[in-house]
Amino acid sequence: MRYIVLTFAMLFSVVVLAQQENKPKYEVEGDMVKATYYHDNGVVAQTGYYLDGKLQGQWKAFDKDGNKIAMGTYEKGAKVGKWFFWNEEALNEVNYDDSRIVSVTQWNNANPIVINQE
């Protein structure tokens, strides 16, 4: 019986610790809040900022392997400017104005380009 209780306690501890690692992380930086969200496996899913409770500045999204899959900018909660979406076949460049799509350009692997991915 002790063995069963000890095993259950160890499993419960591991589950609780794993859940704590995947909780969003919020850090105050000046007048903004930096947010980091995680996938179930602990890899970063998204990073970006909030200002007055609204999405603000550059946001990045990553897949479960840590590969960047999206990058763009929010202004007072609205998508603005050029956003980039990566997948295995192509890079999609989407131009937004107040969260409305203005244009879409698709770049495939046959036309390699260089993008600053800071």
Q: Nearest CA to 78 among 51, 47, 117, 105?
A: 51
Q: Domain spans of the chain?
A: 24-108
Pick the CATH number of 24-108 from 2.130.10.10, 2.20.110.10, 1.10.150.120, 2.60.120.10: 2.20.110.10
pLDDT digits (tens, 9 = 90+) for 71-113: 999 999 999 999 999 988 889 999 999 999 999 999 886 655 5
Q: For 58-72, what is each residue's pLDDT tens digit? A: 999 999 999 999 999
Tell which residue, 68, 63, 74, 75, has the closest CA to residue 91: 68
pTM summary value = 0.72
The confidence score (pLDDT) of residue 99 equals 94
Query: How far apart are alpha carbons 49 and 118 in whole angstroms?
Result: 15
Q: Which of 67, 48, 50, 68 is nearest to 58 (CA)?
A: 48
